[in-house]
Structure 1
């Protein structure tokens, strides 16, 4: 059981880092720090978008429009940590 909890925790942590990387890349593109037409930036952005968008899109439907500020990654990260803590409370 300890191995399953470790794997669950590792997957949650990895996904949180993917969410953070996606948010940082979107800021870098928005502030013209990196060029989205660059092939490497485009491929990394596409991979991050494919990994995060299926989970973030349903959350965005329930959040109010904040005028260009997307807080769905923050909501998801808080939710993931909440679920992780609940699972550890139940199974530890």
Structure 2
């Protein structure tokens, strides 16, 4: 049961990282005009990714200084989420070594 909880948390963090990367790539493609924003699929995809990633990115944007038109909040969010994954795996490893992992 404990393994399943830590596995699920790790997968959710991984999916959030993938969503942040997809959102950043899609916004770059929209910015350069490679993808048409008026397309229904692109609009739906961008709306979904924005709604999923904004709860993670907005708190970072509130304290991160502005660097012109470059948004560094996805990079910081990915680094923080990766660190959280490492902490979760370390906690699970220590629980297993203590005999509590089942």
Find the residue that maps to 2:61 and give its secondary structure.
Answer: helix
TM-score between both structures, scaled by the size of structure 1? 0.95
| TM superposition shift of 1:3 | 1.3
Which has the larger displacement, 22-31 or 52-61?
52-61
Give the length in aligned residue pairs: 92
Runs of 4 or more, structure 1, over 2 Å off, are none
TM-score between both structures, scaled by the size of structure 2? 0.86
Unpaired runs of 5+ residues, structure 1, are: none
Structure 1 distance, partners of 2:92, 2:66, is 38
Q: Deviations over 1:7-66 (max 9, x none)?
A: 111111111101100000000000000010111110100000100112211100111110
Please tell me the root mean square deviation across aligned C-alpha atoms, in Å. 0.8
Counterpart in 2 of 1:71?
72
